[in-house]
Amino acid sequence: MLTKTTRINLVDQVILQIESLIESGEWEIGKKIPAEPILVVELNVSRNTLREGIRALCHAGVLTTKQGDGTYVSSGSTLGVAIQRRIQHSSLLDTLEVRNALEQEAARLSAERRTEQDLEKIRFYQGECSSYTKSRDMEGYVAADLKLHQTIVESTGNQMLIDLYAHITESIQESITIFLRKRFTEELPHDEHHQLVEAIAAQDAKEATANVQQFFDELKKVIKMEEM
């Protein structure tokens, strides 16, 4: 719910409240936000203050104003927009190296902190990957693979790591999908997550981290060969 602002810097408070509504999912990406008169009343701010806050979020790429139609949510957060812009100016290899660092830490923390419920979800998506491999369903495999790694990250309980990984994965998903299509034109990988999942199940942080590093080392070799 919206709460009335009380501090001096009302524009910043308007921005923070709007960001909070978007990040919580109450204002969904692609949906129109409430009309200006409604927000002015609910936030208890002037029309100019509200417009300044919305203008700042439009500049940041979080909101988009369509002339004669209204203002829409275009991104889940300013962090996501900033990461997406940075990735657009980075090579796939550089971006994957960052993802490697995040996934190694996620694997280590997951092995140390995962619950039995977490492990059950991880194994579920591992099974989904295997199922799509057998049916040679590339799109299904890519989606299941993404969910598997997201579930591992979520099992760490580190919200900042979860947010960072979600944004970087969202931004490079298309590139990864294209790359996987090139790499697995004939056959999808066969249960390539087995060792990682078993290391997490055994709570072997060292083995889990090593497995992620090995995967990305092989991935980097393939990318470099593609670029030659």
Length of the chain, in residues: 228
Question: Three-class SS of residue 205?
Answer: helix
Same-domain check for residues 52 and 104: no
Question: Three-class SS of residue 142?
Answer: helix
**Per-residue pLDDT tens over the stretch 171-199:** 666 656 666 666 565 555 566 789 999 99
Same-domain check for residues 25 and 138: no
Taking 50 as the pLDDT cut, the residues of the chain under it are: 6-8
Over the range 4-35, which residues count as b (16 or more CB within 10 Å of their CB) and which as e?
ebeeeebbebbbebbbebbbeeebeeeeebee
| pTM tops 0.75, yes or no | no
Same-domain check for residues 25 and 61: yes
> CB atoms < 10 A from the CB of 112, how many?
14
Q: For residue 146, is it within any domain?
A: yes
What is the pLDDT, as a whole number, of residue 7? 46
CATH number for 34? 1.10.10.10
Q: Which residues constitute the domain of residue 54?
A: 10-76
Same-domain check for residues 197 and 109: yes
**How many domains is the chain partitioned into structurally?**
2
Residue where a domain stops, chosen among 23, 45, 76: 76
Same-domain check for residues 179 and 103: yes
What is the pLDDT, as a whole number, of residue 148? 94
